[in-house]
Amino acid sequence: MATTKMATTRWLHAQQRQGPEAAPSGEAWGSHGSARCGRAIRAALIIQNWYRGYRARLKARQRYALTIFQSIEYADEQGQLQLSNFFSFMLENYVHIQEKDPTLVNRLFGCAPQDDRGRQECIGIIEVPESYSGPRLQFPLNTNSLTIMIEAFKKQQILHAYYVLEILFETKEAMKQMPNFTHIRTCPTKEITICGDLHGKLEDLLLIFSKNGLPSGYNPYVFNGDFVDRGKYSIEILMILFVSFLLFGDDLCLNRGNHEDFLMNMRYGFTKEVLSKYKIHGKKILQVLEEVFAWLPLGTIIDDEILIMHGGISESTDLNLLHHIERNKMKSVLMPPVPMDKDSGTETKKNKGHVPRGVKLSGSPSDYLTKHEWEQVIDILWSDPRGKRGCYPNTCRGGGCYFGPDVTSKFLNKNRLKLLIRSHECKPEGYEICHDGKVITVFSASNYYEEGSNRGAYIKVGFCTTLRFFQYQVTKATCLRPLHQRVNTIESSAIRILKERMVSRKTDLIRSFQLQDRTKSGKISMGQWAFSMENILGLNLPWRTLSSHLVLTDDDGNIDYMTCFHDIHIQKPVKEATLIETLYRYRSDLQIIFNVIDSDHSGLISMEEFHSMWKLFCSHYNLHIGDSQVDELAERMDLNKDGSIDFNEFLKAFYVIHQLDNLSRSNTQLA
């Protein structure tokens, strides 16, 4: 826009300079010059309006693409939260599990403090060999340790498991001394930097440090949760943050996010990352991390005026209760940790339905959070602000709530606060201000969905609550690509994952389309198609707008609905179509369930366990899969025919083939 305006202005000035030389007289020049200026201004306005419209259309396409990404992300989270119901069902019906693995019961539902693993027991036998070429740390840690580690991570070196465990044990001990809410203060010479979700994106953290400086007593930071999952460098981010916390204490605040949770980590990548980087000691690292995550503070309060929490609030959020809750009792926010034994008294009746009948947990009722306490934590980790007044269920995520501006005002007034800063949601510009300036969202992982999809941001809070916002975007290119190229990339990626969602429900979609197609013509109206898409997929997307990317339309505006699936199909490690779709649709859930059962992280479960769990899964989700199909599935999963199933490798075989992608690659090669 600025370039267009400058070029137009220069052109006008050039015309004016030429005017007197070309005109026969002053009077003639006046009339000719005015006409020229008028035409030039009209031309400039036409160009300007065209450019504005062009840019607005690109921005609209970008918004629609981000809406697709976000809708599918939230639908996955909803499915993750619903897994808690399956685990309850599993423990009610799978009688062998309590006999064979009672620790699993308490891990899922007890969430009581585990026996502290001594440092010597975990790392006493681990040695750092002479051949190790990564960073070497000295304990006690110093500022040089942080610098050495960061430089090593830039070179993609991996920190030895010995150092990782040492840092985790020291962090856990230091976290135990922290209150649920850390109170910090600004001063005229010191600003506090607030960062949102990082999600394993190390380049974003390093960019923040390069722009804003490393943490120190003079440069304090608050990191507002979701350090891990999705990105490739979650463990590196944790090591940097934990070492910074150990060095600078009150000047480096770490809040818990909804992804600091071992069940979330199984689905979104962190567990897999740790086990792949630390093949020998990965299990120990994950066990200690469960405890460290449970000890993370719930929030930070700046100058007794600004509250920083990961998600948000609800109309029932009780800040006083949250200050005194025993936060370490919640190992996973996905499992309500309340005993449901007949001897548990009134607490059992009050919290009925969360822990299965007949499941006996170790410890006394005082070792567990109550349902009310659990709900309080869920709300502050999972809730999102909305413009609508009131407080209502967060149906997109499946946990927490949506809270309106009236809820915010009431909460802040009650607690004598001025501002709520939260994270938890990707924003195109890296931050967003809502609720009359009383709620700010900050998100620090740029390119979260796709390269160019969003900026990252951080906030600096100065003395007397002055706020400054800083935006950035990590890019491998020397200069940012043009907007239309970035939008094309984001849009293509969004449509790709949406089509994968569609093909996972292909049978259900076709059945719905055919019910609408009363004449059996293979075509339905746009309204009927949009209704079927939303009814089956439940993503709350603008289907009419997206139709041109997903399906073919005839001259009368009718949809040829089978063209939804012409350019995409699922690779077939088994024959039966319904089973293929079921496995693909629930592959993430199945992977978590089997990983939970696989408590030793061997990647293998017995054939008997597989049969039992698959039948329970089908029963709970009302899936109609015959025994013969389950037998075929189990046989194919037993790759080396030893009676054990490597389910992770098997589930990798279910992937979607995009025929148009293959065609595009072929065309590119030909060109």
Asked whether residue 240 is assigned to any structural domain, the reply reads yes
Q: Please report, in angstroms and rounded to a whole number, the separation of the first and last CA atoms in the chain.
A: 34
Asked whether residue 649 is assigned to any structural domain, the reply reads yes
**Where does the pLDDT of residue 588 fall: very low under 50, low under 70, confident under 90, or very high at 90 and above?**
confident
Domain shared by 393 and 284, yes or no:
yes
Asked whether residue 322 is assigned to any structural domain, the reply reads yes
Query: pLDDT (tens digit, 9 = 90+) per residue, 272-311?
Result: 999 999 999 998 999 999 999 999 999 999 999 999 999 9
- The chain-wide mean pLDDT, for the chain, equals 83
Question: Of 472, 491, 516, which residue sits at a domain end?
Answer: 472
The phi, psi pair for 359, rounded to 5°, reads -85, 120
CATH number of the domain residue 659 falls in: 1.10.238.10
Q: Which whole number is the average pLDDT over 358-378?
A: 74
Domain shared by 560 and 586, yes or no:
no
CATH number of the domain residue 550 falls in: 1.10.238
Whole-angstrom distance, CA of residue 313 vs CA of residue 259: 17
Question: What pLDDT does 369 receive?
Answer: 83
pTM as predicted: 0.84
Q: Is 199 known to be catalytic?
A: no
Question: What pLDDT does 117 receive?
Answer: 54
Whole-angstrom distance, CA of residue 105 vs CA of residue 498: 36
Answer yes or no: are the C-beta atoms of 150 and 240 closer than 8 Å: yes
Whole-angstrom distance, CA of residue 529 vs CA of residue 546: 12
Asked whether residue 477 is assigned to any structural domain, the reply reads no
* Model confidence at 229: pLDDT above 60: yes
Asked whether residue 35 is assigned to any structural domain, the reply reads no
Domain shared by 448 and 306, yes or no:
yes
Domain shared by 520 and 390, yes or no:
no
* Model confidence at 12: pLDDT above 70: no
CATH number of the domain residue 249 falls in: 3.60.21.10
Domain shared by 531 and 635, yes or no:
no
* Model confidence at 149: pLDDT above 60: yes
Whole-angstrom distance, CA of residue 539 vs CA of residue 396: 8
Asked whether residue 636 is assigned to any structural domain, the reply reads yes
Instruction: Report the range of poorest mean pLDDT among 158-162, 338-342, 437-441, 547-551.
Output: 338-342
Extract the tokens encoding 175.
């976290």
Choosing from 259, 354, 424, 435, the catalytic residue is 259
Nearest 5 degrees, angle CA 152-CA 158-CA 161?
125
DSSP 318-377: -HHHHHHS-GGG-S-TTS------GGGTHHHHHTTTSS-TT---SS-GGGS--HHHHHHH
Q: Looking at the 3D structure of the chain, how many domains does it have?
A: 3
Asked whether residue 478 is assigned to any structural domain, the reply reads no
**Where does the pLDDT of residue 119 fall: very low under 50, low under 70, confident under 90, or very high at 90 and above?**
confident
- As a residue count, the chain comes to 671
Domain shared by 514 and 584, yes or no:
no
Domain shared by 424 and 276, yes or no:
yes
Q: Who's near 178: CB < 8 A, 6+ residues apart?
A: 295, 297
Q: What percent of the chain has pLDDT over 90?
A: 55
Selected residue with higher pLDDT from 196 and 34: 196
Answer yes or no: are the C-beta atoms of 267 and 588 closer than 8 Å: yes
Question: Of 521, 538, 565, which residue sits at a domain end?
Answer: 565
Domain shared by 557 and 644, yes or no:
no
* Model confidence at 34: pLDDT above 60: yes
Asked whether residue 96 is assigned to any structural domain, the reply reads no
Domain shared by 262 and 300, yes or no:
yes
Domain shared by 537 and 465, yes or no:
no
Domain range for 173 = 107-124+134-339+367-472
What are the angstrom distances between the C-alpha of 169 and each of 119, 164, 292, 362, 497?
7, 9, 8, 25, 40
Domain shared by 444 and 587, yes or no:
no
Domain shared by 303 and 436, yes or no:
yes
Q: Which whole number is the average pLDDT over 608-624?
A: 77
Selected residue with higher pLDDT from 29 and 416: 416
Q: Which whole number is the average pLDDT over 181-204?
A: 96
Question: What pLDDT does 567 receive?
Answer: 82
Residue recorded with tokens 């009236």: 406
The CB density around residue 388, as the number of other CB atoms within 10 Å, is 12
**Where does the pLDDT of residue 363 fall: very low under 50, low under 70, confident under 90, or very high at 90 and above?**
low
